[in-house]
């Protein structure tokens, strides 16, 4: 049996990756770096804090540390809308480790920064820290020796992207942060003479941006080496798309379809779908350049990661494309799939993924959530690329209408309780399990001329409906009851019936599968979280990677409504997305009384530890 399981991975296009990492079961944690902090960091996590995260992984038996994209986020602070697919985020630089930081004035400035932004109990990042750290970085740079052969070597080795990024950032500063497509034509269109004059007049600022990237590279690479020394794999994240206002798109507009905005079609969680605003790729043009753009991204990422997560991998097969001129309030409603011919999807996705595999040492994992065509699942398995099995969505949707048992999870998958785009387990349990999306249900009613307000109170419990989710009343205990209240024939409301079958008494179903005793409890607690974590740890999936927040819910560290403690709410733009902070510094996390419990759960599931690769 073990040999058969191993052959599932070895007899694929990813053979060399699996032989390097091994085909044993592993456990890990997703820890966004902006979310953690130590007593030495200033307002936000830094590369030194990654070492403490690695130490926590070792202590708890986790052998994978997953990060969100580490690219420069500009002033939007969204890791999936970065200003470069290459450049690293300067906020994460450890100022005290820079050459010249021993200078008395610099040391005092660093201490002042730490004091100003050290706010125990504050649950959201104060992103003013970026401007403050950038100003101090410039002071340190102004005193630095930039004649190092190593610095010159870094510039030479990364010439594909580094100069464009440094010039782009310099222009951003001169243009008061305006998007590049709003700059004057000479810079917008990259007029050679205008750029030559800029390079002469702004030589030091351009060099500063290159120096910052060099320092970030050195510190991130050091953290990666530290993780390797402790047998912890780093898992990075490759966003499938590039921000419209990025150095990538400014430097290579020919690689993108600028008249389109990528997104996702409507589904049971987003009634209007999603519009991300990023342009879609012109793959024909990318491959006409021998795929240099992709190759260089992979080459740079290999400095830091053992495993690479491909975000929204289905977009390599077909991408939901929205005309850029479409009103933004329509979100993803009026889009179309590109390529339009579904018979092209398999070859399209296979070509891109095979190219990536052939040009990297990193093991690939893929985010394959949502409505996924069969060809995507098929190609991922054939190529040896694990997809995602999120427990709340890993179901038999058509027959049992119930959650899959741990043994039924895909072997070729990464299992988890939640993702960075969802609520944590506790918030899902209290607010979403057994519910449907209110906006989606209302839109479906409007499409069928059903009076939503007239049926809402007859179908849903107002006491248990919150955060835009509607919880079914217990008395709506059959499909016939649902159909009678809707006042339509079965054939007219089959989509309503599917929603009902897969969400009615969902909590009670999971309670039973988790083996919990006594009557089902509405509020989440340590016992429920522990049972759910054990459920996915016992799954057939080769990897199990849970949010650090879900691990921390074992200790009751979070107060108030757990719905607050999420990293991102898709389809929204607000100050709390991508800014959640943990309720304790990493030094306390390393001494947390629940660490032995986590270690025993992982050991009991036979998911670690592992020797160094």
CA pair distance 283, 241, nearest whole angstrom: 12
CA-to-CA distance for 248 and 244, rounded, in angstroms?
A: 8
Residue 298 structure tokens: 């992979």
pLDDT at 1 over 50: no
Tens of pLDDT, residues 353-403: 999 999 999 999 999 998 899 999 999 999 999 999 999 999 999 999 999
pLDDT score, position 55? 98
- Is residue 142 classed as helix, strand or coil in its secondary structure? helix
Comparing 102 with 159, which gets the higher pLDDT? 159
Position 379 scores a pLDDT of 98
Q: Which domains does the chain have, with CATH numbers?
A: 2-72+79-431+520-566+574-604 (3.20.20.80), 435-504 (no CATH)
Higher pLDDT, 500 or 558: 500
Q: What percent of the chain has pLDDT over 70?
A: 98
pLDDT band at residue 574 using 50, 70 and 90 as cut-offs: confident
User: Does residue 77 carry a pLDDT above 90?
Assistant: yes
Q: Tell me the pLDDT tens digit for each residue of 138-183.
A: 999 999 999 999 999 999 999 999 999 999 999 999 999 999 999 9
For residue 265 the two structure tokens come to: 């079609």
Q: How many CB atoms lie within 10 A of CB 364?
A: 22
pLDDT at 567: 97
Confidence label for 119 from pLDDT (cuts 50, 70 and 90): confident
3-state secondary structure of 4: helix
Q: Is the pLDDT of residue 612 over 60?
A: no
Q: Output the DSSP codes for 475-489.
A: T--SHHHHHHHHTS-
Predicted confidence band at 268 (pLDDT cuts at 50, 70, 90)?
low
Residue 120, pLDDT above cutoff 80: no
Decide: 28 and 60 in contact? Cβ < 8 Å.
no
| Confidence band for 2, pLDDT divided at 50, 70 and 90 | low
**Contact indicator for 384, 15 with CB cutoff of 8 Å:** yes
pLDDT at 611: 58
The rounded mean pLDDT for the chain is 95
pLDDT band (50, 70, 90) for residue 212: very high
Look at residue 610 in the predicted model and tell me its pLDDT.
Answer: 66
């Amino acid at each position: 049996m073990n040999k058969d399981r191993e052959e599932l991975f070895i007899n694929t296009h990813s053979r060399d990756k699996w032989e390097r990492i091994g085909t044993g079961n592993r456990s890990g944690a997703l820890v966004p770096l902006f979310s953690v902090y130590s007593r030495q960091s200033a307002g936000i996590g830094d590369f030194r804090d990654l070492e403490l995260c690695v130490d926590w992984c070792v202590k708890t038996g986790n052998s994978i540390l997953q990060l969100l994209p580490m690219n420069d986020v500009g002033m939007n602070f969204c890791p999936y809308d970065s200003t470069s697919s290459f450049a690293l985020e300067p906020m994460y630089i450890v100022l005290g480790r820079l050459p010249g930081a021993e200078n008395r004035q610099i040391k005092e400035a660093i201490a002042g920064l730490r004091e100003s932004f050290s706010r125990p109990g504050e649950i959201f990042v104060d992103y003013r820290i970026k401007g403050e750290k950038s100003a101090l970085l410039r002071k340190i740079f102004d005193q630095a020796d930039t004649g190092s052969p190593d610095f010159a070597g870094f510039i030479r080795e990364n010439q594909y992207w580094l100069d464009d990024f440094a010039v782009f950032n310099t222009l951003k500063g001169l243009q008061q942060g305006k998007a590049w497509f709003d700059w004057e034509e000479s810079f917008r269109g990259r007029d050679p003479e205008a750029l030559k004059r800029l390079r002469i007049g702004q030589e030091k600022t351009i060099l500063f941006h290159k120096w910052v990237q060099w320092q970030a590279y050195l510190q991130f690479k050091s953290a990666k080496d530290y993780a390797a020394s402790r047998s912890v794999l780093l898992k990075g994240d490759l966003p499938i798309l590039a921000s419209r206002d990025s150095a990538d798109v400014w430097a290579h507009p020919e690689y993108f379809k600028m008249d389109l905005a990528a997104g996702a079609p409507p589904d049971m969680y987003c009634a209007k779908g999603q519009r991300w605003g990023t342009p879609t790729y012109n793959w024909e043009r990318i491959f006409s350049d021998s795929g240099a753009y992709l190759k260089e991204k992979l080459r740079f990422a290999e400095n830091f990661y053992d495993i690479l997560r491909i975000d929204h991998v289905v977009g390599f097969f077909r991408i939901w494309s929205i005309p850029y001129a479409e009103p933004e309030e329509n979100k993803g409603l009026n889009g179309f799939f590109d390529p339009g011919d579904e018979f092209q999807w398999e070859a399209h996705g296979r070509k891109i993924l095979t190219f990536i595999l052939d040009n990297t040492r990193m093991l690939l994992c893929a985010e394959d959530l949502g409505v996924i065509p069969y060809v995507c699942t098929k190609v991922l398995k054939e190529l040896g690329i694990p997809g995602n099995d999120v427990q709340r969505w890993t179901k038999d949707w058509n027959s049992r209408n119930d959650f899959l048992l741990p043994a039924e999870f895909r072997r070729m998958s990464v299992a988890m309780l939640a993702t960075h785009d969802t609520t944590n387990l506790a918030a899902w349990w209290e607010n979403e399990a057994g519910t449907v999306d209110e906006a989606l249900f209302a839109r479906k009613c409007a499409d069928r001329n059903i009076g939503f307000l007239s049926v809402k109170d007859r179908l849903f419990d107002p006491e248990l409906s919150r955060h835009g989710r509607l919880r079914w009343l217990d008395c709506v205990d059959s499909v016939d009851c649902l159909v009678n209240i809707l006042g339509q024939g079965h054939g007219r409301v089959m989509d309503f019936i599917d929603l009902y079958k897969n969400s009615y008494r969902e909590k009670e179903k999971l309670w039973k599968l988790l083996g919990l005793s006594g009557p089902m409890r509405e509020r989440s607690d340590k016992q429920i979280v522990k049972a759910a974590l054990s459920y996915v740890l016992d799954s057939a999936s080769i990897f199990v990677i849970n949010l650090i927040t879900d691990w921390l819910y074992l200790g009751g560290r979070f107060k108030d409504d757990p719905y607050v403690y999420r990293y991102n709410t898709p389809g929204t733009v607000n100050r709390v997305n991508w800014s959640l902070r943990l309720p304790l510094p990493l030094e306390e996390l390393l001494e947390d009384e629940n660490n032995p419990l986590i270690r025993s759960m992982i050991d009991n599931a036979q998911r670690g530890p592992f020797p160094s690769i």
